[in-house]
Structure 1
């Protein structure tokens, strides 16, 4: 979790405590507020200390219980401010995976130069429908989110139209182990590798593979996208981070450049993909 995010969460907690202590009918103790809300006392302290992220409903109930219903809009605005950077999967996936795909489609459509590093799976914009279906299904199982898999696959495939748009340039780095990772059935991965082979040489895509055996100057780490050097998008198991401060951008730009120096391109990338294909179990 980013320091800026935690500081914002702690600031919101301080504001919640202030509302509790200055309630119009008199100062409320934490236990009294918990009783009024029907919450465990630990939730009051976690919210006030910034150890738990409030939901909009939490904020609404808090404002009402403290006798300050008008303060809800201010609290909600504070929450929205830092949630725009840290987007938890629990909240994003309430409506399923399709809205998330649509948000990424728009972000890529609004960008001209896109750089990516991925160490876990083939990036969405290069996926086949069957591979996308497998990845999205695994994600839905993990997060126990609504199963709108087919709609989400169609949305992800729509993103690929951008690959054929003049003036847009994708610089994509993949770590070699993901060419062999069976997050999907072997025939699906075989077709996905064939798709990658066809990508090499496209005018709008510069695809590099970082070999498993090559010396690395930085650990592989997590995957990320850099959009026009304006913002970075990266994922953790619990959230998606949209980051735009200068120091963070500089760090991710330097990371991408360092990994790029270890990547294989063109014929060498072809050889790595073909080698991976030969290791797959027979259909």
Structure 2
């Protein structure tokens, strides 16, 4: 993916390669460095070419093995600077919605399990095209810089093919507010809620709703996706965050499980969706 995050990872890899080339005892080959730290040779290549994110332990070992232990704080600072990668919406949308959707779709294709939390909008993989169109259009109006809304709607619809592939499971939690937010006309929301009802019985979808009346242990906020326990994609008003360090992935997993404890499923979730649907009918 071509993101600020990947550019930062590439830059760190280039710095690691420089340290290997300028080792005080003479230039090391990748194989020699791997032997010194007890790694497979492929790991050196992956780190230098931005194909793998280093851990603090990796960076310490690299600094020591290249005879430059004093550079470890610099390397650690570089890592800390992009572990919480922020991809600015305005900068990203300068190229339209399509690259944004393609980047996430590529990561999704690599994943077999997806854990999603949404507090105020229907999860993207469950959206009808009309509902998605209104959501995307509202973001485009707010942020500007993107006119390919129809392409984005089609891309989001194609992404939903993931749900019908063998071995894939979507674990999705939504706050009741997501069922009631009038981001679109009532008729569009009604069709969206009808679709949710139809998806409750899918083998590949585990859909939980956190009712307004539920006792919650944390504030139901900040939508996010967890892909295979290896990557978190979280959204804020100004940016999208891609987090792949183990500590943050674990934290978001804990948040999801905490929210799940307040959710209802099956017939209880069905009743909440139907109640939101009935409230759309003029009295």
Same fold (TM over 0.5): yes
Q: Describe the SS at the equivalent of 2:183.
A: coil
1:183 aligned residue: 183
Aligned residues: 208
Q: Go from structure 1 to structure 2 and tell me whether the alpha carbon gap of 1:132 and 1:223 turns closer, same or farther (over 3 Å shift).
A: same
Taking the TM superposition and a 5 Å limit, the aligned residue runs for 1:96-175 are 96-175=96-175
2:214 aligned residue: 214
Q: Describe the SS at the equivalent of 2:216.
A: coil
In 1, the alpha carbon distance for the partners of 2:154 and 2:83 equals 27
- Structure 2 alignment gaps of length 5 or more: 9-77
Q: Go from structure 1 to structure 2 and tell me whether the alpha carbon gap of 1:83 and 1:214 turns closer, same or farther (over 3 Å shift).
A: closer
Instruction: Note if 1:265 corresponds to 2:265.
Output: yes
Residue range with higher mean Cα deviation, 83-92 or 247-256: 83-92
In 2, the alpha carbon distance for the partners of 1:86 and 1:137 equals 22
In 2, the alpha carbon distance for the partners of 1:84 and 1:99 equals 20
In 2, the alpha carbon distance for the partners of 1:106 and 1:83 equals 20
Q: Describe the SS at the equivalent of 2:273.
A: helix
| Per-residue CA distance 1:4-36 (angstroms, 9 max, x = gap) | x9xx9xxxxxxxxxxxxxxxxxxxxxxxxxxxx
8 Å CA contact retained: 2:224, 2:234 = yes
- Structure 1 alignment gaps of length 5 or more: 9-77
8 Å CA contact retained: 2:83, 2:244 = no
Q: Describe the SS at the equivalent of 2:189.
A: helix
8 Å CA contact retained: 2:83, 2:245 = no
Give TM-score, length-normalised by structure 2.
0.70
Shift of residue 177, structure 1, vs aligned partner: 1.1
Shift of residue 91, structure 1, vs aligned partner: 1.2
Q: Describe the SS at the equivalent of 2:198.
A: helix
Shift of residue 231, structure 1, vs aligned partner: 1.1
In 2, the alpha carbon distance for the partners of 1:181 and 1:201 equals 24
Q: Describe the SS at the equivalent of 1:196.
A: helix
8 Å CA contact retained: 2:209, 2:263 = yes
**What is the CA RMSD across the aligned residues, in angstroms?**
2.2
| Per-residue CA distance 1:84-129 (angstroms, 9 max, x = gap) | 9211101110111121111121111110111010002011110000
Q: Describe the SS at the equivalent of 2:278.
A: helix
1:251 aligned residue: 251
2:26 aligned residue: none
| Per-residue CA distance 1:111-155 (angstroms, 9 max, x = gap) | 011101000201111000000000000000000122111110000
2:276 aligned residue: 276
8 Å CA contact retained: 2:140, 2:147 = yes
2:237 aligned residue: 237
8 Å CA contact retained: 2:208, 2:265 = yes
In 1, the alpha carbon distance for the partners of 2:217 and 2:252 equals 14
Q: Go from structure 1 to structure 2 and tell me whether the alpha carbon gap of 1:144 and 1:273 turns closer, same or farther (over 3 Å shift).
A: same
Q: Go from structure 1 to structure 2 and tell me whether the alpha carbon gap of 1:156 and 1:85 turns closer, same or farther (over 3 Å shift).
A: same
In 1, the alpha carbon distance for the partners of 2:141 and 2:263 equals 33
In 2, the alpha carbon distance for the partners of 1:204 and 1:178 equals 21
In 1, the alpha carbon distance for the partners of 2:166 and 2:160 equals 13
